[in-house]
Structure formats: structure tokens, C-alpha cells
């Protein structure tokens, strides 16, 4: 049957190529590139064997719009106009659109979305590893609402587990892989309400590491593992009030603790590793010193987990794309987006598609917007320049609003850069190319908010490897987990 399908496809392709030669535009490069692309896609065959390994890469807040901004930036940094650039995720063979809403939120948060792709069920905003029957903050109902998460699922199959994030390891997205909590904010005991019987999220991470369910955990958030009286490796106090030093507990259990780029480089990866590189979140990529990159953590984890007889599950989050968007700071959105792309490239390079399922997605999008009819090559971090009717690259004339002022390629629908200002006048500040391209520039926005918001639109999921062809059409976010489960259990 498969042979006859391949023969039929080959005949169709041959006739298509022959027919294409009859077009007047047959020698046009766009036409030829499209024919080559179709030919390559027709050659892709589903892989339906069992996946030994599963790698889930999430860029928090990196929806289709944020991804587009990163593509433009990466392309322009490479000397291109930008739009034609291909990011590593763009090159993966299978893709679908993903509906991201939480059960009680049209615009979702990262706890509900993380729970969806780490457990296979949608749930309310703000809760972790529980179903939608639980009201956020109700500690008494956690046990009855608990659902099986990714760490529990894949460790039960004998797989080794890695959890990586550039955010705090106790933050919503990484925590959704291993924790059950009535509120995403219960990161340390000091955040638990009086009488709350559940364990805080930091304790839950150390528990799963001590049990052997998680072999590698790296990210930020050191403060949630040490007491208020304890100074961490960089001199900052912790958040705990219960007297526990969870880092010392981990070390006593044989878990290796690393906290900077030097201890990362000298780590013994044959042992379990807990890496806490910052008191809170890790640094933005543009500001990174003294700590490993996301690609470096990805490479080290794949090398360390790759020797497992039963394979591994590795969940990787580029958490600070989200934070840059919240800050209305497109420059750090795209530089962290490029760091995420480098981690994807490393995962693709180091794995065999016959045995490793790679899934790339975002938990949600942001209220990012692209302004005006910009000519190609307009700096994604700069002003929007007019189209050149006689050429390909933009003209040297910036486009103007009705107020006679130029505007940037990227803006936000809401956020700290609101043009309304404190007096609500709506008089838009004039911006120059030099100002707009500064790393700290906050993009202009409409509705004034102290923190720019998520948006509820669809995001993409990209896949390569066993059963990745199931990423097709438009799917619910919780279906991502079911594709991973199908790949891990296929006969």
C-alpha cells in the first residue's frame, strides 16, 4: 500500500513539474523555489515508530507575531532584508495552529497553558497540575483535583527527565511539568496562605529530584529554595520562612548544585544536577554574563540524558521572551527569541528524527503589533520606512502618522509605553531611529498598563520526529501532550 502511494505521489510530482515548465514565469526564482518546496514536502513521510526521546521547547509568549519579529531580527542581523529568513522552527516539517484559552479565561495565563501541554487537560488560569474543578487558591481541594503531569508520566516509563528554563524554575511554565498547586504564586512557603496544606512549588521540585523522577533542573529562582536569613551565592536573601535550605537538602541527597557558568562548565553530568543561576529569573540574553545560555543548557542536558536506556523527556522554556513583551521592550523580545532559536537548532542537530520527537511551541501570544505599510528591510527595532516602488528595499523616507510624526515597525496594543501618558492627552512622543533601536527602548502602545498583557490568539506548534505529523490543522493546546504520549507509547 505504502509503495503504491509513493509511486502515485511520484507520478503527480513528475506531471506537476512538467506542467510548470509551460508557464511564462517558469524561470522566475520565486516560481522555481516554490516548485522545489512542494517537491521537498511531498517527499516527507510520517514516522510512526515509538519515540525513545521527547523534547518539548516552549518560548513563553512567543506567538506567531513575536516569532515573526524574531525572524525579521535574525534575518536582518544576518545581512538579509529579514522576511525571507528561516528560523530553525520554521524548517520543521509539521505545523499546526493551537488554541490557547484557559477554561475560564479567553486570554490565558502560563499556568493554565503549561498544565494543558504538560498534562493533556485544559484548566483554569493560575493553577498548576490540577483540573478545572479547583477554584484558584483553594488549597483544600488540590488532592481531589490533581492530574498526572509530564514528569510523573514519563518517569513511570523509565525515562530520565530534564526541566530547563530561563525563568525561575518555580515559575508557571516549568512548574507545570512537575508540580500540583492551587496557585502558581505558591513558589515558596512564605507565599502560602495560613492553613494551606499543600507543599510549596520549590519543595515539590526538590521532592521529585530526591525521588529520582527529575535528573536535571536548571534555571533561575534560587531565592525560593533558601531562607530570608540566608544569603545566596550572589549575596541576595531568600524567601523561605520555614527554616529550610532546600539547596542543602538536595546536596545531602546526592544532587549536584551549580550556580554560575564556571560550575556549569565543571559539572559532573553523570549525577543529578540542580542549577540555580539567579536569585529570580535568569538574565535576558542581551545582558547575559556569568551564566549559561539556553542553547548551552540544552546541549548539556541532551548529552547527559542521551545515554538513558529508556530515553528521556526534556522540557525547555525560553521564559524571558514573555517578560520582555510585558515590559514593552521589543529588543529583548527578539534577542531572547534568537537565543530560543539557537536552542532549537542545537536540539535538531543533536538528535535523530527516527527516535526523537521534537515539539516547538509557545504557551500564548502577546499584544504585539506591526505598524503601517513598511518597506522590506525596515529595521524591526526601528522606524517604518516607506515602500520603494522601483526596488526591493525600503525607501529612505520614514512613514508618518496623521500627527506628522514617524512610528516604529513594532508597537504594542497596551503596556507601559502608552502614548496617552499620565495626563491622558494622547500626544505621541516623537521618536528617532537612534532612540527606537536602543536596547532599552520601550515601544509605544495604546492602552496604558504597567505591564503589557498576553493576547488570546492562536500560537503555532512545530514538530519533527515520530508522530509529529499529527500536528495538523487547528488543535486544542492540551492535544500537544497527547501527541507526545502517542509517540512515547506507539507499538
Which among 404, 415, 400 has a CA at the least distance from the CA of 445? Answer: 415
CA 436 – CA 480 distance, rounded (Å): 38
Tens-place pLDDT, residues 192-237: 999 999 999 999 999 999 999 999 999 999 999 999 999 988 899 9
CB 211 within 8 A of CB 161: no
Q: What grid cell was written down for 90?
A: 520554521
Q: Which CATH class is domain 53-366+453-489?
A: alpha beta
Active site residues: 110
The reply to whether 173 sits in an annotated binding site is yes
The reply to whether 366 sits in an annotated binding site is no
pTM as predicted: 0.95
The Cβ-side half-sphere exposure at 88, using a 13 Å CA radius, reads: 20
pLDDT at 101: 99
Q: Is the per-residue pLDDT at 20 higher than 70?
A: yes
pLDDT at 21: 77
Place of cell 549536584: 256
Tens-place pLDDT, residues 400-433: 999 999 999 999 999 999 998 766 667 899 999 9
The reply to whether 171 sits in an annotated binding site is yes
Residue 476's beta-bridge partner residues? 99
Tens-place pLDDT, residues 256-265: 999 999 999 9
CA 41 – CA 33 distance, rounded (Å): 12
pLDDT at 276: 99
pLDDT band for 13, please (50, 70, 90 cuts): low
The reply to whether 326 sits in an annotated binding site is yes
The reply to whether 118 sits in an annotated binding site is no
Q: Which of 14-23, 124-133, 161-170, 291-300 has the lowest mean pLDDT?
A: 14-23
CB 112 within 8 A of CB 100: no
Mean of pLDDT values over 264-287: 98
Q: How far is CA 400 from CA 223, 374, 395, in A?
A: 47, 11, 13
pLDDT at 8: 52
Mean of pLDDT values over 10-30: 76
Which among 425, 427, 390, 428 has a CA at the least distance from the CA of 411? Answer: 428
Q: Is the per-residue pLDDT at 2 higher than 60?
A: no
- Each domain of the chain, given as residue ranges in start order, spans 53-366+453-489, 368-452
The sign of the CA dihedral 136, 139, 145, 150 is positive
Residue 414's beta-bridge partner residues? 447
Q: Is the per-residue pLDDT at 116 higher than 60?
A: yes
Mean of pLDDT values over 384-398: 98
Mean of pLDDT values over 78-85: 98
The reply to whether 200 sits in an annotated binding site is no
Beta carbons within 10 angstroms of residue 55's beta carbon:
29
The reply to whether 60 sits in an annotated binding site is yes
End-to-end CA distance of the chain: 20
Amino acid at each position: 500500500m505504502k509503495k503504491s502511494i509513493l509511486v502515485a505521489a511520484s507520478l503527480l510530482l513528475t506531471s506537476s513539474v512538467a506542467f510548470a515548465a509551460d508557464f511564462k514565469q517558469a524561470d522566475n526564482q520565486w516560481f522555481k523555489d516554490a516548485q522545489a518546496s512542494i517537491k521537498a514536502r511531498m517527499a516527507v513521510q510520517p514516522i510512526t515508530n515509538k519515540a525513545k526521546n521527547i523534547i518539548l521547547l516552549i518560548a513563553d509568549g512567543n506567538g506567531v507575531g513575536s516569532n515573526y519579529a524574531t525572524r525579521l531580527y535574525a534575518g536582518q542581523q544576518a545581512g538579509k532584508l529579514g522576511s525571507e529568513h528561516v528560523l530553525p522552527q520554521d524548517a520543521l516539517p509539521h505545523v499546526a495552529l493551537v488554541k490557547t484559552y484557559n477554561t475560564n479565561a479567553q486570554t490565558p495565563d502560563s499556568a493554565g497553558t503549561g498544565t494543558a501541554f504538560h498534562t493533556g487537560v485544559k484548566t483554569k488560569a493560575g493553577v498548576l497540575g490540577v483540573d478545572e474543578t479547583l477554584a484558584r487558591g483553594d488549597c483544600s481541594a488540590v488532592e481531589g483535583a490533581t492530574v498526572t503531569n509530564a514528569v510523573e508520566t514519563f518517569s513511570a516509563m523509565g525515562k530520565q527527565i530534564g526541566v530547563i528554563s530561563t525563568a525561575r524554575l518555580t515559575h508557571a511554565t516549568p512548574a507545570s511539568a512537575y508540580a500540583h498547586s492551587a496557585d502558581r504564586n505558591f513558589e515558596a512557603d512564605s507565599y502560602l496562605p495560613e492553613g494551606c496544606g499543600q507543599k510549596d512549588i520549590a519543595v515539590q521540585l526538590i521532592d521529585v529530584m530526591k525521588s529520582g523522577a527529575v535528573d536535571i533542573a536548571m534555571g533561575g529562582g534560587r531565592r525560593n529554595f533558601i531562607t530570608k536569613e540566608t544569603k545566596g551565592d550572589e549575596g541576595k536573601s531568600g524567601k523561605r520562612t520555614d527554616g529550610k535550605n532546600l539547596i542543602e537538602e538536595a546536596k545531602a541527597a546526592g544532587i549536584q548544585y551549580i550556580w554560575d557558568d564556571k560550575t556549569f562548565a565543571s559539572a559532573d553530568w553523570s549525577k543529578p544536577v540542580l542549577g540555580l543561576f539567579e536569585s529570580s529569573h535568569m538574565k535576558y540574553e542581551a545582558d547575559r554574563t556569568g551564566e549559561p545560555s539556553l542553547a548551552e543548557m540544552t546541549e548539556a542536558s541532551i548529552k547527559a540524558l542521551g545515554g538513558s536506556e529508556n530515553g528521556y523527556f526534556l522540557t525547555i522554556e525560553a521564559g524571558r521572551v514573555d517578560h520582555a513583551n510585558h515590559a514593552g521592550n521589543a529588543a529583548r523580545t527578539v534577542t531572547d527569541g534568537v537565543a530560543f532559536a539557537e536552542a532549537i537548532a542545537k536540539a535538531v542537530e543533536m538528535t535523530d528524527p527516527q527516535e526523537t520527537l521534537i515539539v516547538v511551541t509557545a504557551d500564548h501570544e502577546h499584544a504585539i503589533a506591526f505598524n503601517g505599510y513598511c518597506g522590506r528591510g525596515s529595521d524591526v527595532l526601528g522606524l517604518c520606512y516607506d515602500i520603494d516602488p522601483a526596488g526591493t528595499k525600503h525607501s529612505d523616507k520614514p512613514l508618518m502618522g496623521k500627527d506628522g510624526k514617524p512610528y516604529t515597525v513594532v508597537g504594542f496594543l497596551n503596556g507601559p509605553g502608552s502614548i496617552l501618558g499620565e495626563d491622558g492627552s494622547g500626544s505621541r512622543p516623537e521618536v528617532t531611529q537612534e532612540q527606537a533601536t536602543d536596547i532599552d527602548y520601550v515601544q509605544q502602545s495604546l492602552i496604558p498598563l504597567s505591564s503589557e498583557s498576553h493576547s488570546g490568539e492562536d500560537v503555532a506548534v512545530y514538530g519533527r520526529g515520530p508522530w509529529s505529523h499529527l500536528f495538523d490543522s487547528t488543535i486544542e493546546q492540551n492535544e500537544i501532550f497527547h501527541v507526545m504520549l502517542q509517540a512515547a507509547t506507539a507499538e
